[in-house]
């Protein structure tokens, strides 16, 4: 027999069967860093806003990005085998919206008005990003909806420091930094 207190039924969180609606509602509570994933292919620059980016390994240095296979950028990354990841600061909210199709700015004008550079792999990275990763695609795993892209990092560029841009609850924000 256990000495544990009886279970308080009111303390048990409500759970639901998995549905698209509940999945999306749950994922809105997962805070993610905001990044712009880019590539260059056949003379054009392409990119999108993504929160599904993370470190994969330090040796060799690799990161992982998940990109919707329906979007154009995925196909360009697939064909070019190069990828840039620019980790955004809070000062980049409007740029994040631009690459997330949340503005009237068209795909071909997304890169205007900001300084971009290309390192050895050739994909553009934002010059004043918190950090930019220049990657060659090492491996890709394609699911019905998203490609999981593993990028081998060839170069890292550091921009000015600042508060990170985050996305949570359907809104952009940042961390409060105490001085």
pLDDT < 70 positions in the chain: 1-13, 177-179
**pLDDT tens for each residue of 69-83:** 999 999 999 999 999
List all residues 6 or more positions away from 135 whose beta carbon is below 8 Å from its beta carbon.
63, 82, 83, 84, 85, 121, 123, 151, 152, 153, 154
Residue 17 forms part of a structural domain: no
**What total of structural domains would you count in the chain?**
1
Residue 128 forms part of a structural domain: yes
Residue 58 forms part of a structural domain: yes
**pLDDT tens for each residue of 137-170:** 999 999 999 999 999 999 999 999 999 999 999 9
Residue 110 forms part of a structural domain: yes
Supply the CATH number for residue 50's domain.
Answer: 2.30.110.10
Q: Is the pTM of this model over 0.95?
A: no
Residue 116 forms part of a structural domain: yes
Residue 169 forms part of a structural domain: no
98 lies in which domain range? Answer: 36-155
Residue 21 forms part of a structural domain: no
Task: For residues 55 and 38, give the distance between their C-alpha atoms in angstroms, rounded to a whole number.
Answer: 17
pLDDT at 162: 95
Residue 143 forms part of a structural domain: yes
Task: For residues 65 and 83, give the distance between their C-alpha atoms in angstroms, rounded to a whole number.
Answer: 10
How many CB atoms within 10 Å of residue 177?
8
């Amino acid at each position: 027999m256990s000495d544990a207190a009886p279970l308080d039924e009111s303390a048990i969180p409500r759970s639901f069967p998995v549905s698209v609606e509940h999945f999306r509602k749950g994922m809105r509570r997962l805070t993610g860093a905001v990044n712009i994933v880019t590539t260059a292919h056949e003379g054009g620059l392409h990119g999108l806003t993504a929160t599904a980016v993370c470190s994969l390994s330090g040796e060799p240095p690799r990161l992982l990005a998940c990109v919707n296979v329906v979007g154009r950028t995925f196909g360009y990354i697939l064909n070019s085998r190069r990828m840039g990841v620019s980790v955004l600061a809070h000062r980049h909210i409007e740029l994040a919206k631009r690459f997330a199709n949340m503005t009237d700015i068209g795909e071909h004008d997304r890169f205007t008005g900001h300084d971009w550079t290309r390192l050895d792999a050739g994909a553009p990275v934002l010059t004043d990003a918190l950090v930019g990763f220049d990657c060659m695609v090492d491996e890709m795993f394609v699911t019905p909806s998203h490609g999981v892209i593993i990028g081998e990092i060839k170069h890292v560029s550091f921009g000015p420091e600042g508060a990170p841009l985050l996305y949570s609850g359907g809104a952009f924000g940042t961390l409060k930094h105490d001085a």
